[in-house]
Chain A
Amino acid sequence: MTISRRGFLGGLAAGTLAAGAARAGAHKHFKGHPDRLGLLHDTSLCVGCRSCEFACNEVNGLPPPPAPVDDKRVFDKPRGLSDKLYTVVNRYQPARGGQPAVYRKHQCMHCNEPCCASVCFVKAFTKTPEGPVLYNPDVCVGCRYCVFACPYYALSYEYDDPTTPRVVRCTMCYPRIKKGLNPACADACPTGAIRFGKREDLIQLARERQRKNPERYHPYLFGEDDYGGTSWLTLLAAPPGEMGLPEDLPHEPLPNLTTGFLSMAPLVAAIFPGMLAGFSAFTKRRRQLDQERHRAEMKALREEAQSTLARERRSFQQQVQLAAEQARREAEHRLRPPAGPAPARSDAPREEKP
């Protein structure tokens, strides 16, 4: 009995699928599409007017954000993104004393190697050559692994929709970009704190601004290399930790943390069936040997019993014969007539067969 072909082929099939998965997720040195677009957010110019929030909601068909632009109490507590707010402006107080408060707009960063696209098991996200990361609600199953994994907390889910809930976030106004327009927030910003253009050009521009006015900016351009780089670049007026952004992010794209492990799956699928079949074969062999030994023992026992039986039978037969002989003599002796000499009969005693 060998390992069933079914089991082996099944393992092979799983391994092939997983190998395909690993190939797709393997680490490639792809520098990104050269002409991709991006946005530069200069937080030293942001005055917290929230026109971007209103413009974004209008373009995406959402109700206007809570609190009108004139109500500055909305900044008292930091706000996160939500399914009704694809972008949000928050106020931050730098740790250096005497500095005025600074503002920063938060939204999906449209990473160069987006984690959401990598973790989606129905490939609902696509990184377009133009830069934006797009979402396809027609295949989304609602597992929310993307919302779970995003390091910038940029995705939101429509929890209150029971039948057609979607993952929602900033889309970099992809339809408008395709038509040659600017994203709505870039158009709406009155101070020009959001600038739209080719990502390469924006990086150069950001460096130039930092060079010209070193006191205004923290010497780090957020998004240039963080987790592989993002399409939204942020010129910071204070260190990232003070402005609600994660600090000391590695330059390795985030999906790489998982693909290393996943690429082992085909290896496991290739090795383990054989290995386990080997264990199973050893077990089977051990059982077989046990069985054979058992059978041999039983056979020996049986033969021994048979020979003993034959021997016993023979001796029993002999005993019966002797006993019969003795009984006959006894009977003869008893049956002999008591008087005179009788003429010797020539009759031979009848022989009785035992």
Chain B
Amino acid sequence: MESVKPHMDLVCPAGSLPALKAAVDHGADAVYLGFRNATNARNFPGLNFDMDEIQQGMAYARDHRVRVLLALNTFPQPGHWSEWTRAVDEAAELGVDAVIMADPGLMRYASRRHPDLRLHLSVQGSATNRHSIAFYHDEFGIKQVVLPRVLSLSQVRQVINTSPVDVEVFGFGSLCIMVEGRCILSSYVTGESPNTCGVCSPAQAVRWEETPRGRQSRLNGVLIDRYRHNEAAGYPTLCKGRFRVGDEVFYAMEEPTSLNTLDILPELMKLGVAAIKVEGRQRSPAYVAQVTQVMRAALDACYRDPDNYQLQPEWVASLDKVSEGQSHTLGALHRPWQ
């Protein structure tokens, strides 16, 4: 018999202080954020927190009994090692509720220097099976793991049943179709990747062109997509472009679409998922408010009566409005997607 866990944490993105407040005000159980530098995987211009903002954010979250998780989930290289260890030290001093990390060397540092600091394995840590999770648990005492968005629902179940630590899954947001942490398409084209620089398909490499054939998007000169007149144009993330394979031009990797797990929240709860993560530290406070509100309502409904949980059309409509490509998918959780 599977036991029903009474609660799944709703973990929401905070790319700025206003976004943090939006998440807290609309029902997040925890928020995650990063320092304003390359130590986290959303190192985008104009995002993230300096020390003063983090302290303000933590005070606001604490007042509302919301936990604060700090993402330090890039892979430091020797020349910049001390910047990352300093970030770990600062996280410990700040007293954040957990640090979300990916780099094995940095986790080794953190677990030795700050044994009481709670560690979560970031999705960038690429742990997709029980033996990998066991490695991070044995070596560093991680307490929670964020699963890459490559597992089917039955595989998530298997991981939860055999994992020594709590399991967090992505519930809503942009969809990485590759194993996070093992994708360097971005640095192949631009020189910068999530692992090394905390960015994917970075904004400074993007160029838009208006041509007689329509609008075109380029990434470091490489043509990512070409749009017909009146066709909605999306951000030129490499894996969501239209390319030629054989004689066909199509979305060879993935359409622009968002992950949305509203459909299967009761199943995730019954499996024993400990936390549901909303993607989008790069998104606006309005996005965070909207998604947090809908996810909160859905989780509460699910928690009250999982067997009679019903998807409300207004939830779906409201999330599709803020989705990439205005459409959604269960991604790898739903086997036929694969």
A and B: bona fide binding partners: no
